[in-house]
Amino acid sequence: MSDADLLFMSARRAAALIRKKRLSPVEYVEAALSAAEREQPRLNCFITMMGERAREAARSAEQAVMSGAPLGPLHGVPVVIKDQMDIAGFPTRNGSRIFDDAPPAARDNVIVARLRAAGAIILGKTTLPEFGVKGLTDGPAFGVTRNPWNLARTSGGSSGGSAAAVAAGIAPLAVGTDGAGSIRGPAACCGVVGLKPTLGTVPLETARDAFANHGYAGPMTRTVADAAVMLDVLAGPAPADPWAAGAAPPRPLSPALVGEDLSGLRLGCFMRLANPRVAADMAENTRAAFAAFAEMGAEVEEVTEAIDWMEYEGRVLYQANFAVLLAPYLPRWRNEMDPATIVAMERGAEFSLVQFREAQFARTRLFRAVQALLEQYDALLMPTMSRTALPASFDSAHDEVEVDGVKCGITRQGWTSPQYPFNLTGHPALSVPSGFGADGLPTGLQIVGRWGAEADVLRLGALLERARPWAQFRPPLA
């Protein structure tokens, strides 16, 4: 087997081969580290490489296989972690110069601990824009993370380093975080699978305001089945997250989705949410995905009910939170922070307490509106974003997004509008590749399910993956 075939193998298959002693964890991890070293100068997707630690873990994993020890579901499989999560012995920099001299973390984040317990081997920590503030991955702390399909385009944000590493075959699995679309946007940009789980399904220890949280952690993979396996590892109660501490068990798979005949299933479809336009190529691939589900027997309907997607109120919540969260750093670090971070803070500081509370009330109204939709429909479908990846040089503080040559506002209005509403409502949302645009870059379809119904959205993603395969496509490599 060539290194390229090995590196683009699914995590499930690699783990099965390791259990059968047909694949060496040492050789697998060495191939992954070599790929990381080759691709890092082009993609710039790592903040920290953990080569020696990964090699040591691979040797231990191989010894466990040979000795007949119990093996976890991801035993010997490489994974990368977004540098917003603590890994014992390494600093957490949050994509910011502020933490250039941060001390090593004392312990693993609960998500990292669960991956280790499942046998996964951590290769390194991936890039993110400063504090994950924007939908592109670049910043003064590390430069620009580029899209493997076209180096002149962004990998998306804020989990852009994780998405680029998976798309380029460096690792089959990555952890992303998603405060306003930061798993799903990069997944769509880079042609991989990204799942934002239901609020509380996967614990988020990093949330500053755990009770009003709209941030998530979840899997980024090349196949839907790998995302399902990884979710099973990550999910479960944790005492530091109040949503996870008392979370209900995930819903079982809906009976209507057990087979491939989707007769009786109702899918509500959108082409736009708060975004004014959708690119023609994105719309074409989205309609093809709708048609694929209709061919399986599902009743696929355009949703005509008017929904207030609270684009403005969402900005109030997002930017005001950053204004308060990062204010203590301004006196010392303002001149070394990303200008986009400063602009977001300045905008957020202009909102009043009344506006902030009104935005929180709007969040409740949106949740109830989506709940009502999901009483009518088994799931909701829409493009993950309005167009393919923006130029890597895009200035997210000042530039307007262009869709088919028409200016459509800031990124949250014109590009990523379909993502943030479901951070606010808490429903599970999966981005899966839907094809390629006219520019050769990937497009994505978003599948939104009922609260706790990750199994349903993953099953729908898997059925689309079978009908319109994508994992065989690979970007140009170094």
Map out the domains of the chain as residue ranges. 3-467
pLDDT higher than 80, residue 1: no
**In the structure, what pLDDT confidence band is assigned to residue 247 with cuts at 50, 70 and 90?**
confident
Instruction: Provide the whole-model pTM.
Output: 0.98
Cα–Cα distance for residue pair 90/92, rounded to 1 Å? 7
Mean per-residue pLDDT of the chain: 97
Average the pLDDT over 186-201 and give the result. Answer: 98
Q: Kindly list the catalytic residues.
A: 82, 158, 182
pLDDT higher than 80, residue 99: yes
Bridge partners of 193, per DSSP, are 221
Average the pLDDT over 265-287 and give the result. Answer: 98
pLDDT at 397: 86
Average the pLDDT over 14-36 and give the result. Answer: 98
Q: Quote the longest CA-to-CA distance of the chain.
A: 63
pLDDT higher than 90, residue 2: no
pLDDT higher than 90, residue 249: no
CA count, 13 A, side-chain hemisphere, 173: 34
pLDDT digits 0-9 by tens, 315-332: 999 999 999 999 999 999
Share of the chain above pLDDT 90, in %: 97
Sign of CA dihedral 357, 360, 366, 372: negative
pLDDT at 250: 86
Average the pLDDT over 98-125 and give the result. Answer: 98
pLDDT at 245: 94
Domain 3-467, second-level architecture: Alpha-Beta Complex (3.90)
